[in-house]
Amino acid sequence: MTATARSELLFSKAVQGDLSIEAETTLPTRHGQFRCIVFRHAEDWTKEHVAMVRGDVAGDDTLLRVHSECLTSEVFGSLKCDCADQLDLALESITAQGRGVLLYLRQEGRSIGLANKIRAYALQDKGADTVDANRALNLPDDARRYDAVAAMLVWLGIHSVHLMTNNPAKVEGLRALGVTVRERVPVVIEAQPFSSAYLATKRSRMRHALP
């Protein structure tokens, strides 16, 4: 496919400002039935983000999980982090409440990409923690941005949220973009031997609210 054809494909769907709505369907899952919407955002048109919507979410006090892609955990079952468990818990919580949204962002490895994430894992195997491993690779501790989230929430008609996260930086980042976060809802997964050091680093060096 030529660069011109690829560009035309990316802009072939309905574009509203910085947001492109690519596709939508009803998706039955083991956590219940969701409305699945695929978006692209001007920050990076090559990435497809997903909204998993349950119930009528427009208005105030919508339960929200902003979840970054983790191929190693969610597909391959890696035990080095708790990402897959957090994803499952968030979808279960939204289903139990009957109303909420999970925004799945294509930001692998806190947005450093899969190859760099695996390089960082290799350094962690030699004793570095997740922060020092990134820095040894001349990478930021956390490269994620949430501009797409703010745009998707506007498109969904959501005015304020109860944000499922342990990360205060995510709350701060969304508020800086104008998102009204009413409260932070913990998403705590019990540590196991392979993830305990990683979670301890998130608590001590990245301000995550973890026990």
Query: 24: closest CA among 33, 15, 37, 40?
Result: 37
**Known catalytic residue at 205:** no
List the catalytic residue out of 82, 85, 129, 142: 142
The span from the CA of 67 to the CA of 173, in Å, is 14
- Report DSSP letters for 140-190, one per residue: -S-----HHHHHHHHHHTB-EEEEE-S-HHHHHHHHHTT-EEEEEEP----
**Annotated catalytic residue, options 106, 144, 182, 203:** 144
Pairing assessment for the beta strands 160-164 and 44-54 based on DSSP bridges: unpaired
Catalytic, 88? Answer no
CA distance 112 to 183: 28
What does DSSP assign to residue 112?
A: T
SS (H, E, C) 36-101: EEEEEECCEEEEEEEEEEECCCCECCEEEEEEECCHHHHCCCCCCCCHHHHHHHHHHHHHHHCCEE
Contact criterion met (CB below 8 Å) for 131 and 205? yes
Residue 186's Cα: distance from chain center in Å?
Answer: 15
- DSSP tag of 207: -
- Active site positions, annotated: 142, 144
